[in-house]
Amino acid sequence: MQKEDKKIPKTVWITGASSGLGLATAEAFRNRGWLVVAGARSFNEEAPNNEENMVRLKLDVTSEESCNRFVQKALELSPTVDALVCGAAVLVLGSCEMTSVEEYRRVMETNFLGALRMVSCALPHMREQKSGRIMLFSSINGLLGIPFQSAYTASKHAMEGYAECLSMETKPYGIQVCLIEPGDHRGGSDRTRLHAAREDESSPYKDAYESACAVIHRDETGGLLPEKLGQKVVRNAEKRRMKFRLRVAKFDQSLAVLLHTLLPEWLNSWILRDYYRGGKNK
């Protein structure tokens, strides 16, 4: 009897896979039988704590050297990269005035440039194999701005424009691109939710900032389950033709995006300012 060849599972690289939506997405891919090469700064390179179909590698997306080392080890595990999911992100809360250039740079380096580094690493291999799925975590914040999240919002707006360009350029090589646009979800890590250093008791925005932070915390605490998002990401990755935009948000947040395109700017601004001003009173 001829010995049956063992089927090689599809391989996905996932950044920011230690907590929150990145972790939920990694687990969803693993549960569907994919080989998951998960990367995060917090992973221990010497003691990776791997599981079946899940290999954890230390990865700092702000370091080109770390990205190259991750890719080298990933290709030793599997010669193909069927999908890349860029989920590494950091959030710095603060007013535009009180958020420093260095804090903006930190957010952009992780959320936007970190994704670019990993895409640049994956693309040569995807072009050679004439296939691949690139899934980039944007956000509802990539479609509209809210008070005191300007750094995060700017990084996600940049991701939206970049993904549109990337999709057009890579289509001839059989590569598909998806923007994942989550609303509020539960279970994020405090390690990636930071506050601008100058946003203190002396800040002229102190009261409005504290109200907005209370609303943000309330919305995240009552947000959607990360596991549901992970399952939707995998289902999209396994489609013959991926959705370019995969929005996973509650009705009110999806409605806010729609209204942002329909209402005049002054009315949108009034609605959002009023909503985030009510954190201490609701």
Task: Return the active site residues.
Answer: 152
- What is the helix (H) or strand (E) element at residue 136, kind and residue range? strand 132-137
What amino acid is encoded at 184 in this protein? D
> Is 240:206 a contact under the CB 8 Å cutoff?
no
> Cα dihedral angle (16, 179, 36, 152), rounded to 10 degrees?
0
What amino acid is encoded at 77 in this protein? L
DSSP-derived letter for residue 246 is: E
CA distances from residue 171 to 109, 138, 238, 256 in whole angstroms, order as listed: 26, 20, 17, 31
